[in-house]
């Protein structure tokens, strides 16, 4: 059997750990051949590929990013895209695909399975917003990076007695903001799931100043003020219809400075959260996902995604995994509100 592997969507730490686990088990246990498709779904669309052997994955466990590179290509937005993929797979003798990605990448995997192409999915997103799995790899690393940044910002905020607004990733789900904000002792945490009152934020900030503390406000990029709109870096959309968000942190810092008369600055962590070495947790989770993805291919169980349930790795239908985003429940957010101010 010859198996193709690809990584789609935004990069994150742990992708190479999945590739390594897939290739090692596939070769050493089953004797399969592997081909890596470059640049997400663009690889099987155009035939851009490379062989994957044991030497190719020997030293990649700790590396961030992906040796296969990535893109946000959507073959269903390309004329004849499905037939092009089908032809490339036939030309290269590929019997099955393992697609590593988030909502968009696995949404394509689901549709391709429906169109008769065998695909097994592996969940990846730093936002932890994929349904049907408790955690995705990349999330723990992103939270750790954001928490370390918040820890460092506390000291500079206190030294200058200023408010600091930390903007983290999170288009529709505030998991990174919630977890890093709680771990970093933020004064305010703002998530997309609950529109926020600027007046309330200012009240919390002023309360902290009154206590001689320097407030830290953590805000997800997709958070919205009541009656406000998303802050966009550009109006352009990618192949999956997403616009680039960004700017809510700067906007909020300006509002706080204007209303309180206190110095306020914004720090946008951006792609720092995606880069670098994965945490031990993400390395282990990614490795387990890769091993179980190989088992699914060996069983001919296509149209599934490997998922974490409790401490077990299970298989769920791709249709279930991509049915809806996993957002922060209101009750989870309300648990954190006891610390605000």
Strand order, beta sheet including 188-190:
188-190, 216-220, 163-168, 264-268
Determine the Cα–Cα distance for residues 222 and 327; give it in Å rounded to an integer.
12
Coil, strand, or helix at residue 248? Answer: helix
Determine the Cα–Cα distance for residues 246 and 171; give it in Å rounded to an integer.
9
Check the annotation: does 273 bind a ligand. yes
Check the annotation: does 227 bind a ligand. no
Check the annotation: does 148 bind a ligand. no
Check the annotation: does 181 bind a ligand. no
The runs of H, that is alpha helices, within 12-74 are: 15-30, 42-46
- Which residue is listed with tokens 């928490």? 147
Check the annotation: does 169 bind a ligand. yes
Residues, the chain: 341
Check the annotation: does 168 bind a ligand. no
Strand stretches in 79-208, DSSP E: 96-101, 119-123, 163-168, 188-190
Residue in 127, 129, 140, 282 annotated catalytic: 127
Check the annotation: does 127 bind a ligand. yes
Q: Tell me if residue 11 is catalytic.
A: no
Provide the β-strand partners of residue 82: none
Check the annotation: does 265 bind a ligand. yes
Determine the Cα–Cα distance for residues 155 and 151; give it in Å rounded to an integer.
7
Check the annotation: does 217 bind a ligand. no
- For the packed helices 280-298 and 139-160, what is the interaxial angle rounded to 10 degrees? 160
Q: What is the dihedral of CA 148, 231, 241, 40, to 10 degrees?
A: -20
Q: Which residues are annotated as a binding site for diphosphate?
A: 10
Task: Give the residue numbers marked as catalytic.
Answer: 127
List binding-site positions for substrate: 125-127, 162, 169-171, 221, 265, 271-274
Give the annotated binding-site residues for Mg(2+): 103
* Known binding-site positions: 10, 103, 125-127, 162, 169-171, 221, 265, 271-274
């Amino acid at each position: 059997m010859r198996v193709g592997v690809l990584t789609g969507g935004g990069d994150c730490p742990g992708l190479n750990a999945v590739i390594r686990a897939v290739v090692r088990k596939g070769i050493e246990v089953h004797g399969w051949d592997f081909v890596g498709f470059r640049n997400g779904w663009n690889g099987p669309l155009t035939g851009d590929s490379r062989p994957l052997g044991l030497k190719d994955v020997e030293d990649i466990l700790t590396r961030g990013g992906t040796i296969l590179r990535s893109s946000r290509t959507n073959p269903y937005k390309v004329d004849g895209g499905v037939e092009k993929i089908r032809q490339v797979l036939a030309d290269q003798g590929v019997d099955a695909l393992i697609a590593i990605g988030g909502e968009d990448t696995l949404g394509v995997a689901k549709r391709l399975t429906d169109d008769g192409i065998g695909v097994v999915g592996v969940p990846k997103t730093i936002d932890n917003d994929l349904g049907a799995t408790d955690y995705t790899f990349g999330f723990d690393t992103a939270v750790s990076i954001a928490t370390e940044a918040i820890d460092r910002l506390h000291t500079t905020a206190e030294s200058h007695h200023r408010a600091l607004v930390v903007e983290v990733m999170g288009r529709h789900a505030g998991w990174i903001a919630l977890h890093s904000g709680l771990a970093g002792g933020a004064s305010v945490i703002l998530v997309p799931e609950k529109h926020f009152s600027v007046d309330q934020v200012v009240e919390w900030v002023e309360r902290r100043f009154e206590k001689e503390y320097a407030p830290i406000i953590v805000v997800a990029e997709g958070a919205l003020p009541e009656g406000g709109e998303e802050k966009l870096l550009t109006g352009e959309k990618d192949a999956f219809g997403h616009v680039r968000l960004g700017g809510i942190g700067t906007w909020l810092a300006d509002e706080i400075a204007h209303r309180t008369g206190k110095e306020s600055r914004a720090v946008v962590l951006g792609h720092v959260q995606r880069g670098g070495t994965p945490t031990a947790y993400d390395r282990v989770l990614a490795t387990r996902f890769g091993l179980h993805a190989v088992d699914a291919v060996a069983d001919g169980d296509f149209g599934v995604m490997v998922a974490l349930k409790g401490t077990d790795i299970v298989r769920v239908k791709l249709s279930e995994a991509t049915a809806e985003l996993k957002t922060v429940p209101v009750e989870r957010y309300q648990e954190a509100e006891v610390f605000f101010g």
